[in-house]
Amino acid sequence: MSRTSSSGCAAVPPSSYPRLVSIAPVAPPVRVRTRAIPDPGRLIELLPDERGPLCWVRGTEGLVGWGEVARFNTRGPDRFEAADAWWRSFSSRLEVIDEVGLPGSGAVAFVSFAFDPNSDESVLVVPQVVVGSRDGVGWITEIEAGHGTVNRMPSVRRVAPIRRATGVRYSEGLLSVERWRRAVAEAVRRMRRGDLFKAVFAHDLLATADEPLDPRFLLTGLAERYPTCWSYSVDGLVGATPELLLRRTGTQVSSRVLAGTNWLGGLSGSDADELGPALLASGKDREEHRYAMESLVDRLRPLCAEIHAPAEPSVLRLPNVTHLSSDITATLDPADPPSLLRLAGAVHPTAAVGGTPTEPALRLIAELEGMDRGRYAGPVGWLDARGDGELGVALRCALLSGSTARLFAGCGVVADSDPDTEVAEAAAKLVAVRSALEGRPL
């Protein structure tokens, strides 16, 4: 099937996907060229096939990529620093022609970090081709690790049809619903005893289809259902997050903190309109949100010249859930602005995905949750060679492998939490991925 984008902009053909797995200098030099193109249209529709699609899209803006020029895997408590050092080393060897000069143009790495430092899943992937759109400007970046010129964008390219998931069925994940409920109940008991204030517990669900899953099907379904969220795909992790951990543009930093949730539960019309006011009036949810916001501000403050946080949260309403939300802005020291990955290493995990105080909460999660979350609730997104980029919190996601998908959801637990209510909240959050995976409306 031959096609161009909806705007008539031609796209790029699949390639042989060269891969460099060493951080040793590449010879001959890696050549990178970015040039402006007409409106690329729906970015996700440009992904040529199901082989490792890379994506960070919100509405009509963002980045998609394919092919693999290089990758870097890391683990341990210094994984952010190691990734930052590798990316600086790699990008310093590039021969770059950037005719656009916007955040996300030039060489880009898509990143996905494990929640826990002991997991070995943190990864950076440098794609061969990136198509981006921002502020009405479209561009394409192409990389060639070898002799010759960078391939020009041809008039037509072939896109493999997206395969719909069929025969999707579910089974218990590593942590059953009943075990998860008991973990929440025990956490509440310890919080009421005064051991800590908050912990965020994850729950997983296994989905199996009749045939290998096409990541583009889930990605497209999530983007259509949640256009105000950031839809992402990095190394098999596909999701749509409403929570922006960090955005860095020069010396400007912003973040969207979410904590405190209510859900429709069959409500509609005027009843559904009451969810926001009820959430704002909830002492339990306000407390949970305060912990999350304060933890981010406290960790950013030493790295910033100034920081601004709202006095009161607002309400973010999505099709399946409603959240308390706070947008935080900060300015970095222009003399020595930390990179996006250095900032991420300083703030992860915030109380929104870990707890308060951090170390006791993480110990409690490890004890009671008892499973490896992998990259769920870790930072996910992209960064460019200038150190700019966007990282979300990997929520509302699934890890795809062949015909199986491991779905994740989590809930913040405080002393006033009710275990049965938390079970219902996790189920409501799983609806986002389940409905997209099955191709059905919410």
- 3-state class of 132 per DSSP? strand
Domain positions in the chain:
2-158, 169-438
300 token code pair: 């950013």
What is the model's pTM?
A: 0.87
Q: For tokens 């602005």, name the residue.
A: 337
Residue with more model confidence, 384 or 22: 384
Query: Mean per-residue pLDDT for 5-12?
Result: 36
Is 284 labeled as catalytic in the residue annotation? no
Calpha distance 168→158 (Å, rounded): 28
Is the distance from CB of 141 to CB of 108 less than 8 angstroms? yes
**Buried-state track 248-277, b at ≥16 Cβ within 10 A, e below 16:** beeeebebbbbbbbbbbeeeeeeeeeebbe
Whether the per-residue pLDDT at 152 is higher than 50: the answer is no
Q: Nearest to residue 392, comparing CAs of 15, 43, 62?
A: 62
Query: Mean per-residue pLDDT for 264-276?
Result: 55
Q: What does the pLDDT read at residue 149?
A: 43
Is 198 labeled as catalytic in the residue annotation? yes
Q: For tokens 């896109």, name the residue.
A: 159
Of 243, 287, 369, 390, the active-site residue reads: 243
Is the distance from CB of 101 to CB of 71 less than 8 angstroms? no
Whether the per-residue pLDDT at 265 is higher than 60: the answer is no
> DSSP string of 6-68?
TTS-----------B---SPPSSPEEEEEEEES---SGGGG--SSSS-EEEEETTEEEEEES-
Calpha distance 271→291 (Å, rounded): 29
Element housing 323 (H / E): strand 321-332
pLDDT in tens, 274-320: 677 888 888 888 888 888 888 899 999 999 999 999 999 889 888 77
Calpha distance 232→223 (Å, rounded): 9
> How many CB atoms lie under 10 A from the CB of residue 336?
7
Write down the mean pLDDT value for the chain. 86
Q: What does the pLDDT read at residue 3?
A: 35
Of 144, 198, 369, 390, the active-site residue reads: 198
> DSSP string of 276-293?
HHHHHT-HHHHHHHHHHH
92 token code pair: 């310093």
> How many CB atoms lie under 10 A from the CB of residue 67?
23
Fold of the 169-438 domain:
Anthranilate synthase (3.60.120)
